[in-house]
Amino acid sequence: MTTDAVHAELVSLYAGSTPVRSRWSYRADQPFTVVAAFQTDRNRWVEWVFARDLLAEGLMTSAGMGDVRLHPVTDRGLEMLVVEIESPEGYAMLELDLGGVADFLDATEEVVPPGEESEYFDVDGLIDEITKV
């Protein structure tokens, strides 16, 4: 694959019935994380950044102890990924098509194979950014 980024749009269900658009993205220059943005209003998106490893684990079993928790579930014959997000502003539990999220994760692994993240991560750039405060 020649691209250094992956993007996907997925529809999730909130409270079991309300559709919520989400945008998922991954960039090679930030190889350890994925960004999931959920549309809350017509022009407002809320972004959550979390570890790609957390997403991979959450597709198979319960994962996460903090603000983002994931677990797979099968209900009415549908395989879904439950994403629970929490902040001081509130809590949401969303259900996404497990296959769609797995396809997104597979695409990220084509951009940066698991275990090779440190080869894409610019430590010098991060230090430069932090020291320019």
Q: pTM for this one?
A: 0.84
pLDDT of residue 1: 39
pLDDT of residue 50: 95
Q: How far apart are CA 96 and CA 70, in angstroms?
A: 11
Q: In what order do the strands lie in the sheet with 90-97?
A: 44-51, 33-41, 18-27, 5-14, 90-97, 78-87, 68-75
In this prediction, residues 45-66 reach a mean pLDDT of 95
For residue 11, what pLDDT band results from cuts at 50, 70 and 90? Answer: confident
Q: Is 1 helix (H, G, I), strand (E, B) or coil?
A: coil
Q: How far apart are CA 87 and CA 105, in angstroms?
A: 25
Contact yes or no for 110/104 (Cβ under 8 A): no
Higher pLDDT residue, 106 or 6? Answer: 106
Query: Is 100's pLDDT higher than 50?
Result: yes
Please tell us whether the domain made up of 5-127 is placed in CATH 3.30.2180.10.
Answer: no
The residue to which tokens 């989400």 are assigned = 22
Higher pLDDT residue, 105 or 129? Answer: 105
Using alpha carbons, select from 49, 54, 89 the residue that is nearest to residue 69: 54
For residue 51, what pLDDT band results from cuts at 50, 70 and 90? Answer: very high
pLDDT of residue 55: 97
Residue 70 burial by Cβ neighbours in a 10 Å radius (0-12, 13-18, 19+)? buried
